Every structure is written in structure tokens, then in C-alpha cells.
Structure 1
């Protein structure tokens, strides 16, 4: 009886160590799904707390760029920014409402990364808005605005960079 108990406990320990090794191999980043979950949650909380600020920055950029570019194109760009931000916020809200036990970290990493990529590409398309004048100030304004947005997005994404 005592021999079977020790054999069972050895099997359990071996099973646990194999299971831990599999989890480490299946997660490409930190090796700990709990830590990856926490990093994703930090990103989600940051994104939800700034749900209004980045669209307001888009409005400021669009209004500022109207001096050099077509208002129609800027309005289309602004609408696209709002839609993609809505998608990102929607995904973040879904993630934050899920119980921790039900979260499949790699799936949510992929969803959040794809939404963030789409949002970033939408912001970058402001560079393709055609200027109505040949004034260099318009290009300088767009360049400066994109630098601000890139730095802001990198600050938000810094929490998930190790797992993306």
C-alpha cells in the first residue's frame, strides 16, 4: 500500500512537471501564462482608461491638418480612427469582463495585437491624406503628429511588448 502511494505521488509529480514544461513551450514569451495574463490586463486597463483621449487627439490632428488638406479626406480618416478605436475598446472590454479562469491567453494576445495593429495602421494613413497646398508646414505638422502618436502607442504597448 505504501509503495503504491509513493508510486502515485511520483507519477503526479512527473505529470505536473511535464504539464509545466508543455505550458512553458506553448507560451512563446515569458513562459508563465499568469504573468502574460497580467501584462494583457495592464494593457487593457490602460487602453480603457484612455478611451477618450486618443480619439480627442485624432480630432486635434484632423482640425490642425485642415489648413493643408482636404476636409473630406480628413473626415473619412477621422471616422476610420473612431471605428478602429471602437473595435479595440470593444475587445478590451470583452477581455476585462471574462473571469481569469476562462481566458485563453494566446487567443486574446492575438485578438488584442490584431486590433492594436489595425488601430496603428489607421493612424498612419493620415500620412496619405493629400495636401491641397505645397506648403512644407503641412508635412511637418503630420510628421510631428505621427511622432506624438507613435510614442503614445508605444507607451501603451510597452506592457505587452514581451508577449507580442
Structure 2
């Protein structure tokens, strides 16, 4: 069907983050080893690009089905939006590895993995926020007027549901 199943409840922020770490972290960890293995055959930057593309498609599907409770496959627009945040993550991991090689003449494989995984983790947190509040936000286009929740705060039209939830929790 490709659209979100509105009858399935979206998980709370903590549950979604735990699922994000499980899915995204698992894909990211597997990707780090895949990049290292592929980089033995082709330039690292190309290996990282190929693995980033494949892992982004896989992770977006997992996030749509499991992490954010969308209830089905990710839509084309969700894949495109997710790819935008992945492009940023790709740039950060490339910059981190470039900086490492500028600062350390011959870093060992373990040091390279540590730098790569650290950069991936930092961008992963940013990706979680973007995916939760923008890409997989529910009902954001259905809110047409100012809504007054029972505790007296005001949420404005067009604000993603996840953002309103996070703001109320603060």
C-alpha cells in the first residue's frame, strides 16, 4: 500500500529511540564492517558511498515498519527525505575519516573503526530527530487549526506531532 497505517499507534519517544538504536545501530555496525571490507578492493570514499546508499534504503524500511510504527513500507517521499539526512551523515563520516588521515599518518584499523563509528553515532542522533519529527511524523498535514491540548498549551498548525510531544515533555 505504501502509506502509513493510521490505526497503528506510534511508539513514544523513548521506545522509538530504543528501536532506532537497534535497527539503525545494527545496520550501521554491519555497514562499518562492509565499508572496511569493500575498501580493501575500491577507494574508501566510493565504498562508503555504496554502503551508505544500500544501508539507507534498508534502514528507512526498518524505521517505517518497526521504529516509528508507520505500519508498512516507507513511501517514496520518506525514502527521499531519509536520503537527505543520510547524505549529511555520509559527509560527516567522510570528513571525520579525512581529518583522521590528516592528523595520523597510518592509523590502525581499530582506530579507523572507532572514528567512523563515533561519527556515525553522532549523526545517528541527529537523524533520529529528523526522522521522528519530519520524515515519519504523523498527522502533520492533517492539522488545520490551532489545537488547544487539555493542559492549556497551544500547538500550531503544521507543527509535526512528534515535535509537539517533545515540547510538552520538556
TM-score (norm 2): 0.31
Structure with more helix by fraction: 1
Task: Report which structure shows greater RCO (CA 8 Å, sep ≥6).
Answer: 1
- State the structure with more CA Rg: 1
